[in-house]
């Protein structure tokens, strides 16, 4: 049995990756290591809690003793590294937390992997990153795997640094690594500080819908389950030492996205047309707000055969239905009530 360590597996993207691996690879043992910060929620994985090939460990990727214990106890042969602080606004107000988790935490994992995997080529350290490391695009062009890094926020800078460190361990220590950089994810189980679940929650509660600046910033949107499928593919079939860009081929201006979301929500909630749009409030633009992101995902399509399965409108409709159907999850995570139960169930090892 292969023992795969997934860091940040209780988070938004991580929970989809863990669920996919637990359900699709019964000969794998998936160890989910998560600190359970505000965005880590074990309710995201309640459906796999009882599976025999799944183990949850509460802990911090900065804890080298814990990481070493896991490598030794389980003979870890693969790491899928998703644990990260990931919210740009939070990085602006508290950059040190992002440096610690995203840079020091990544090096801590790399050092343990290097120690236990010396001379092995049947192992893999797979680092999941973001398209924000490339900076901001103008009206034309797309990010490719060879685009020069130009991060603009403490968050994207910390992720850029972690990417460089992972590559350095490949070139310096021959550590078998893979990296992918993805565009904006959306879908079920996303913490409602991000744009789409924030707007859904605020529309439900008839609150203001804050839009930065004029809403002209453009993002490429990727359904989280398509991203999980791509991660699965890169982990198993990607070339060691290579980077793969993963994008949804779905560019939307923020304001156009919010308009679409408002109209769908009004219809689903049986409210008058234009009800949600009337609560859009333009707020001061975020410092260093990148204008446009767009991923050229031709490499992963050409080399590994991956393409996104959903167009944005279809995925958005499914996502809204999920949040409306799972109102208890949304209420719990916005109140923090879920933590009291899981705090009593899981302790640091």
Query: Which residue among the candidates 34, 43, 132, 251 is catalytic per the annotation?
Result: 132
- Catalytic annotation present for 225: no
Q: Is 155 a catalytic residue?
A: yes
CB distance 311 to 251 below 8 Å: no
> Roughly how many angstroms between the first and final C-alpha of the chain, as a whole number?
22
Q: Would you state the torsion angle of the CA atoms of residues 90, 94, 99, 102, taken in this order, to the nearest 10 degrees?
A: -20
**Which one from 126, 134, 155, 293 is the annotated catalytic residue?**
155
Quote the tokens at residue 178.
């893979």
The dihedral of CA 54, 55, 59, 61: what is its sign?
negative
Secondary structure (DSSP) of 17-64: HHHHHHHH-TTEEEEEEE---TT--GGGGGGGTT-TTEEEEE--TT-H
Q: Alpha-carbon distance 278 to 286, whole Å?
A: 22
Catalytic residue among 43, 85, 131, 145: 131
Query: Known catalytic residue: 132?
Result: yes
Separation between Cα atoms, residue 54 and residue 19, nearest integer Å: 9
Q: Which residues are catalytic?
A: 131-132, 155
């Amino acid at each position: 049995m292969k023992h795969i360590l997934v860091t940040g597996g209780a988070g938004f993207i991580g929970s989809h990756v863990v669920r996919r691996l637990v359900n699709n690879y019964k000969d794998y043992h998936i160890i989910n290591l998560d600190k359970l910060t505000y965005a880590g929620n074990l309710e995201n994985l309640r459906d796999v809690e009882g599976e025999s090939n799944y183990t949850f460990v509460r802990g911090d990727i900065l804890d080298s003793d814990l990481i070493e214990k896991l490598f030794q106890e389980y003979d870890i042969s693969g790491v899928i590294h998703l644990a990260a602080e990931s919210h740009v606004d939070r990085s602006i107000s508290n950059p040190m937390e992002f440096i610690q988790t995203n840079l020091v935490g990544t090096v801590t994992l790399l050092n343990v992997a290097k120690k236990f995997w010396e001379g092995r080529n049947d192992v893999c350290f797979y680092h999941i990153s973001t398209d924000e490391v490339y900076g901001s695009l103008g009206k034309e062009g797309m990010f490719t795997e060879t685009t020069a890094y130009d991060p603009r926020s403490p968050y994207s800078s910390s992720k850029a640094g972690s990417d460089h460190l992972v590559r350095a361990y490949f070139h310096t220590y021959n550590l078998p690594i893979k990296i992918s950089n993805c565009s904006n994810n959306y879908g079920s189980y996303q913490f409602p500080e991000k744009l789409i679940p924030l707007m859904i929650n605020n529309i439900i509660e008839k609150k203001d819908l804050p839009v930065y600046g004029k809403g002209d910033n453009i993002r490429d949107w990727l359904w989280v389950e398509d991203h999980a499928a791509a991660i699965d593919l890169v982990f198993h079939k990607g070339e060691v030492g290579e980077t793969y860009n993963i994008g949804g081929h779905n560019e939307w201006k923020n304001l156009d996205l919010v308009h679409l979301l408002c109209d769908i929500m009004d219809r689903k909630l049986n409210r008058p047309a234009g009800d949600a749009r009337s609560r859009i409030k333009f707020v001061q633009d975020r410092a260093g707000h990148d204008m446009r992101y767009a991923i050229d995902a031709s490499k992963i399509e050409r080399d590994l055969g991956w393409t996104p399965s959903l167009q944005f409108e279809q995925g958005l409709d499914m996502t809204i239905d999920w949040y409306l159907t799972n109102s208890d999850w949304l209420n719990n995570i916005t109140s923090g009530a879920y933590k009291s139960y899981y705090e009593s169930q899981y302790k640091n090892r």
